[in-house]
Structure 1
Amino acid sequence: MKCPASVQSQRLAILLEDALARESRLWKAPVFKNGRIQGTDISVSQHEEAVQWLGELSTLFKFCQETFALAVSILNRLLASVKAQPKYLRCIAITALILAAKTNEEDEAIVSVKDLAVQSGCNCSPAEILRMERIILDKLHWDLYIATPVDFVNIVSSKPLF
């Protein structure tokens, strides 16, 4: 008979291995070269501003930590896949947050695209956000969810190691 702690440890190891395998298949990180994301005109500081802005919006709309982490993941995966221009960065970021919210949040917690556009101050119309949503979904092959650092923290903290 196996010890229950041993079974829990094995289950945790399997969960972590599964999450890592999925991450290695899907994860693309933007490469920073000469102070810019390679292949774009987006600077490190512009990227950092976009991520900080996503955090502020996530807090404003009372989204969970997992939604913020997934939005950053979607943003980074897209920036690693396309040659985005800085003028579209806010539209990409707000759209990544909307897609992450649709994935992680309860339906009643998600405000309309129109309200998100107005309240966020992203300077893009709801039509532009919806168009960007289709672009992101297409470029990421409709596979939005990927393990984020928050997922790994949740897996480890929710499962006793011993």
Structure 2
Amino acid sequence: MIDTATGAGPLPFAAQLKALIDQEGRYQPKLTGLRLIEGAHDNGLRMTTRLREYEVKDLLSLTRFFGFSAETFSLAVSLLDRFLSVMKIQPKHLSCVGLCCFYIAVKSSEEERNVPLANDLIRISQNRFTVSDMMRMEKIIMEKLYWKVKAPTALRFLRLFHSHIQEQLDAESKKILSLERLEAQLKACHCSFVFSKIKPSLLALALLCLEAQEQHDPEHIHKIAEALQSLQQHLNIKDGDLVCVRELVGKCLVEYATTKRLKPNSQRLRWIISGRTARQLKHSYYKIAHLPTIPESAC
């Protein structure tokens, strides 16, 4: 049976946070496996960080193409990193693994009526494996992850933290932290391998702290800083760890903003699809747009 983590329902903040923290460690990718990928040479025979990053960017483009939610993308990345950290796969199998992780996330997060057929998903992503290949790989992934799908992703922590902070602020201060902007920043971080090794709760807090740091409104930022410090204490995160991750996030976002090559959806993917598939696609599927630049912070 597929494991489902406790959702962020009408529970008090402390209860929701405890539920996520209790599960966080069980859903973390294995560091030993990630380090093997990190140390692998790019010779076409072993998985590398570069190949993983390219695959995640493809998944982000697919997410945009189908109009799927940020939850679907974040969960797909979580599944991919967890699987890659426990299985040594050959680069030629990566596209099948990635698409299967994406498909599992879609079926877990999206409404059933919006889930595409596996054959159409293969065709649109321009892969050459069959539906049978995909179904076998999906079974392997689920077994290796012990059917635990609904991971407490950084996106879930980010939304929970943001909501909690907003409840403590006045109307003007609430305009400082844009959730849309923060989620766009998180997508950029997901495309960088280094964040696979960082706990989702720490990454979410670092994003919020960096965003608050970038603001220049002392009248309102003081209350946000107090709320963030309280969160840090509640999570028992050391100052040094937070500063380190915040700097990594900052570096990632600078590269995202200044280097076109590193923008996860700076270019459209071009799909070759059959007339039959084209007729079955929703009208909204054709509204493919570039990933918007990370929204500017409020004035």
TM-score, normalising length: structure 2: 0.48
Q: Who is 1:135 aligned against?
A: 140
Deviation per residue, 1:24-50 (Å, 9 max, x gap): 12212422432469xx81111101000
Q: Who is 2:27 aligned against?
A: 26
The one-letter amino acid of 2:26's match is R
**Distance of 2:152 and 2:89 partners within structure 1:** 24
Summarize the alignment of residues 120-159 of structure 1 with structure 2, pairs less than 5 Å apart. 120-159=125-164
SS of 1:81's partner is coil
Summarize the alignment of residues 61-140 of structure 1 with structure 2, pairs less than 5 Å apart. 61-140=66-145
Task: Verify the 8 A CA contact 2:23 2:152 in the aligned structure 1.
Answer: yes
**Distance of 2:41 and 2:61 partners within structure 1:** 23
> Identity of aligned pairs, percent?
29
Task: Measure how far apart 1:17 and its partner are.
Answer: 2.3
Question: Which contiguous aligned blocks of 4+ residues in structure 1 show a shift greater than 6 angstroms?
Answer: none
Which of 52, 69, 74 is the equivalent residue of 2:57? 52
**Distance of 2:79 and 2:38 partners within structure 1:** 20
SS of 1:57's partner is helix
The one-letter amino acid of 1:50's match is E
Task: Verify the 8 A CA contact 1:36 1:44 in the aligned structure 2.
Answer: no
**Distance of 2:103 and 2:46 partners within structure 1:** 24
- Describe the shift of the 1:36–1:15 C-alpha distance in structure 2 as closer, same or farther (beyond 3 A): farther
> Cα RMSD over matched residues?
1.9
The one-letter amino acid of 1:137's match is M
1:13 matched to 2:14? The reply is yes
Task: Verify the 8 A CA contact 2:27 2:152 in the aligned structure 1.
Answer: no
- Describe the shift of the 1:36–1:153 C-alpha distance in structure 2 as closer, same or farther (beyond 3 A): farther
The one-letter amino acid of 2:74's match is A
**Distance of 1:151 and 1:64 partners within structure 2:** 12
The structure showing larger relative contact order (alpha-carbon pairs under 8 Å, at least 6 residues apart) is 1
Q: Who is 2:196 aligned against?
A: none
**Distance of 1:12 and 1:148 partners within structure 2:** 17
List runs of 5+ in structure 2 lacking aligned partners.
Answer: 1-10, 169-299
Task: Verify the 8 A CA contact 1:91 1:129 in the aligned structure 2.
Answer: yes
List runs of 5+ in structure 1 lacking aligned partners.
Answer: 1-9
Task: Measure how far apart 1:14 and its partner are.
Answer: 2.6
SS of 2:68's partner is coil
